[in-house]
């Protein structure tokens, strides 16, 4: 096996474009890496070895296309993004054999830019979870320590990128599912502003919260992928018609003079593990050295964020998942005689425990008599939370804090669902507010020796500022090594 897989996406794209390496070599290297590491990491539900090799050879025969920024670059998709003709399971038994007949818009854009897909990544069933332990198929391991979880719900995407099986993966983030696994696996993950990337072809969990985003090994790679995927799509009415700026042009700043970073006390106090706090605080100190000013900001409603998020996300999930009835999609119980029994049996056998728990709770908060007390109340708190952010961003350019209160934990350590939900405390507010947020690896925790991610949050469409600041900080931190596998 060569060392090609240790390069970043931007580096490999340049080598491919210049003809210095062939697509077939790069794809073969990734496939060899998959073969060598998958028995331990188990990041992928589907490996597309033959398709990828055939595509690579055809591309090499045609020669590099300078207009395609991702020409020949091997990538992986979270298994809830539709890829025409390839099984898309959502990590669920109910969609075990579902083969979509269309591509997600984000996928079309990556294809048009020249990407080669080598696999589809494991995930918590229907993206419900923070550890990838809720997959119906198997658990994924953290490449830094295979006894630990990779984070979730895009844990397969995080692990495949950290393990060097590909150069980038797409994840989705409804309440932290890009940022948590990025933090746990030591990679860069970006959840863009709601509406920035089309959700067409993303199998919905919480439609008002879901966003697709890149999971990669450098900030530059994140900027490049955002550039390719961002932009209005008539197939998604919530995708916004706001001009797409030049994200790569925002990179390369010399220092952080003139940048104000807000530090919310709610994110830096109680409940935060000491090693996470220390690694994040060191990164903030580095930003100060680079000229950034820090100011305290208040996000007073943070303590209500978990309750608000879980009411809204479960309500939306109960409605979105009603389409999986055994008739139109996926698994069907063939023994039931009556239609209603067929629905019940198909859904009972097809959905896992966590998904059923959420459908039941989501249906409850939407039912008459409880709608006002729960759903409507949560919707109001959500608006207030958004206003909190607006006030904070009047005082600062970006907010910085930890992604997660802990580093990656040992599998099985958060068996109580509530303990798992509490991990989302720092990530879910960005989804409720619709603002962009990212995880930047800032080193290893001194106790667990596991990666720590620093989170940036910004006002809507502030991705250029966020990427610019993150890339400057990234350049001044010790480079993040790849895990030894």
**Catalytic hit among 78, 191, 411, 414:** 78
Choose which of 128, 230, 292, 433 interacts with ligand GLN (CB under 6 A). 128
**Catalytic hit among 135, 153, 157, 439:** 153
Is 135 among the residues known to form the active site?
no
Q: Are 77 and 108 in contact (CB under 8 A)?
A: no
Nearest-CA neighbor of 55 among 89, 26, 20? 26
Interface segment toward ligand GLN; rule CB under 6 A; list 77-85, 171-179, 446-454, 462-470: 171-179
Instruction: Please name the residues in contact with 328: beta carbons below 8 A apart, sequence gap of 6 or more.
Output: none
Instruction: Report, in Å, the least distance between residue 153 CB and ligand GLN.
Output: 4
Q: CA 453, CA 105: separation in Å to the nearest integer?
A: 29
Interface segment toward ligand GLN; rule CB under 6 A; list 66-74, 124-132, 279-287, 341-349: 124-132
Q: Which is nearer to ligand GLN, 263 or 321 (CB)?
A: 321
Choose which of 29, 133, 173, 471 interacts with ligand GLN (CB under 6 A). 173
What sign does the dihedral 79-83-89-90 (CA atoms) show?
Answer: positive
Choose which of 175, 326, 434, 436 interacts with ligand GLN (CB under 6 A). 175
Q: Which is nearer to ligand GLN, 74 or 129 (CB)?
A: 129
Q: Which is nearer to ligand GLN, 86 or 127 (CB)?
A: 127
Q: CA 311, CA 371: separation in Å to the nearest integer?
A: 10
Q: Helix or strand or coil: residue 14?
A: helix
Q: Which is nearer to ligand GLN, 116 or 423 (CB)?
A: 423
Asked if 406 is part of the footprint of ligand GLN (rule: CB under 6 A), the reply reads no
Interface segment toward ligand GLN; rule CB under 6 A; list 20-28, 47-55, 170-178, 262-270: 170-178
Nearest-CA neighbor of 46 among 111, 90, 107, 5? 90
- CA angle centred on 220, ends 214 and 221, rounded to 5°: 35
Q: Helix or strand or coil: residue 256?
A: coil
Q: Helix or strand or coil: residue 119?
A: strand
Assign residue 186 a region (left: φ > 0; alpha: ψ between -120 and 50; beta: otherwise). Answer: left
Instruction: Report, in Å, the least distance between residue 140 CB and ligand GLN.
Output: 15
Asked if 157 is part of the footprint of ligand GLN (rule: CB under 6 A), the reply reads no
Q: Which is nearer to ligand GLN, 71 or 421 (CB)?
A: 421
Q: CA 155, CA 142: separation in Å to the nearest integer?
A: 8
Asked if 130 is part of the footprint of ligand GLN (rule: CB under 6 A), the reply reads yes
Q: Which is nearer to ligand GLN, 122 or 130 (CB)?
A: 130
Q: CA 109, CA 113: separation in Å to the nearest integer?
A: 6
Is 391 among the residues known to form the active site?
no
**Main-chain phi, psi angles of 281, to 5 degrees:** -65, -35
Asked if 398 is part of the footprint of ligand GLN (rule: CB under 6 A), the reply reads no
Which residues, 422 to 451, sit near ligand GLN by CB under 6 A? 424
Asked if 177 is part of the footprint of ligand GLN (rule: CB under 6 A), the reply reads yes
Binding mask of the shown chain, residues 183 to 222, with x at each position contacting ligand GLN by CB under 6 A: ----------------------x-----------------
Asked if 133 is part of the footprint of ligand GLN (rule: CB under 6 A), the reply reads no
Number of H helices, E strands in the chain: 16, 11
Nearest-CA neighbor of 157 among 40, 268, 79? 79
Q: Helix or strand or coil: residue 110?
A: helix
**DSSP class of 443:** E
Is 177 among the residues known to form the active site?
yes
Asked if 176 is part of the footprint of ligand GLN (rule: CB under 6 A), the reply reads yes
Instruction: Please name the residues in contact with 373: beta carbons below 8 A apart, sequence gap of 6 or more.
Output: none
Asked if 153 is part of the footprint of ligand GLN (rule: CB under 6 A), the reply reads yes
Size of the site for ligand GLN (CB under 6 A): 13
Residues taking part in catalysis: 78, 153, 177
- Site residues, ligand GLN (CB under 6 A): 127-130, 153, 173-177, 205, 313, 424
């Amino acid at each position: 096996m060569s060392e090609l897989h240790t390069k970043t996406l931007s580096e490999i794209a340049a080598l491919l474009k210049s003809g210095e390496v062939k697509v077939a070599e790069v794809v073969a290297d990734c496939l060899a890496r998959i073969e060598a590491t998958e028995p331990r990491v188990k990041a992928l539900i589907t490996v597309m070895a033959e398709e990828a090799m055939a595509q690579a050879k055809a591309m090499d025969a045609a020669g590099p296309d300078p207009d395609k920024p991702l020409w020949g670059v091997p990538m992986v998709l979270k298994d809830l993004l539709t890829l025409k003709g390839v099984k898309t399971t959502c990590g669920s038994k109910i969609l075990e054999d579902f083969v979509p007949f269309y591509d997600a818009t984000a996928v079309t854009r990556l294809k048009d830019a020249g990407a080669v897909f080598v696999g589809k990544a494991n995930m918590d069933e229907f993206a419900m979870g923070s550890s990838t332990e809720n997959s119906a198929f198997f658990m994924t391991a953290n490449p830094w320590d295979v006894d630990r979880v990779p984070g979730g719900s895009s844990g397969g995407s995080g692990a495949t990128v950290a393990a060097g099986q590909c150069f980038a993966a797409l994840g989705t983030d409804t309440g932290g599912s890009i940022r948590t696994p990025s933090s746990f696996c030591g990679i860069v993950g970006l959840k863009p502003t709601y509406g920035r990337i089309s959700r067409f072809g993303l199998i919905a969990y919480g439609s008002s919260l879901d966003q697709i985003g890149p999971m990669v090994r450098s900030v530059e790679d994140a900027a490049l992928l955002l550039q390719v995927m961002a932009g209005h799509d008539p197939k998604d009415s919530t995708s916004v018609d706001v001009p797409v700026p030049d994200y790569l042009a925002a990179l390369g700043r010399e220092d952080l003079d003139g940048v104000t970073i807000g530090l919310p006390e709610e994110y830096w106090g109680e409940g935060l593990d000491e090693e996470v706090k220390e690694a994040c605080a060191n990164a903030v100190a580095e930003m100060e050295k680079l000229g950034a000013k820090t100011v305290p900001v208040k996000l007073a409603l943070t303590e209500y964020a978990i309750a608000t998020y879980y009411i809204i996300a479960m309500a939306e999930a109960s409605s979105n998942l009603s389409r999986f009835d055994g008739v139109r999609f996926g698994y069907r119980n063939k023994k039931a005689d009556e239609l209603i029994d067929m629905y019940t049996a198909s859904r009972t056998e097809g959905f896992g425990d966590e998904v059923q728990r959420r459908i039941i709770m989501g249906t409850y908060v939407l039912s008459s008599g409880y709608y006002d007390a729960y759903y409507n109340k949560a919707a109001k708190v959500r608006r207030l939370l958004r206003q909190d952010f607006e006030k904070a961003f009047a005082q600062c350019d970006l907010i910085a804090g930890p992604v997660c209160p802990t580093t990656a934990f040992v599998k099985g350590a958060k068996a109580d669902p509530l303990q798992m939900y509490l991990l989302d405390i720092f990530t879910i507010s960005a989804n409720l507010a619709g603002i962009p947020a990212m995880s930047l690896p800032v080193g290893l925790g001194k106790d667990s020796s596991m990666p720590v991610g620093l989170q940036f949050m910004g006002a809507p469409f502030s991705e250029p500022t966020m990427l610019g600041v993150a890339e400057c900080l990234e350049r001044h931190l010790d480079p993040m090594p790849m895990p030894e596998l």
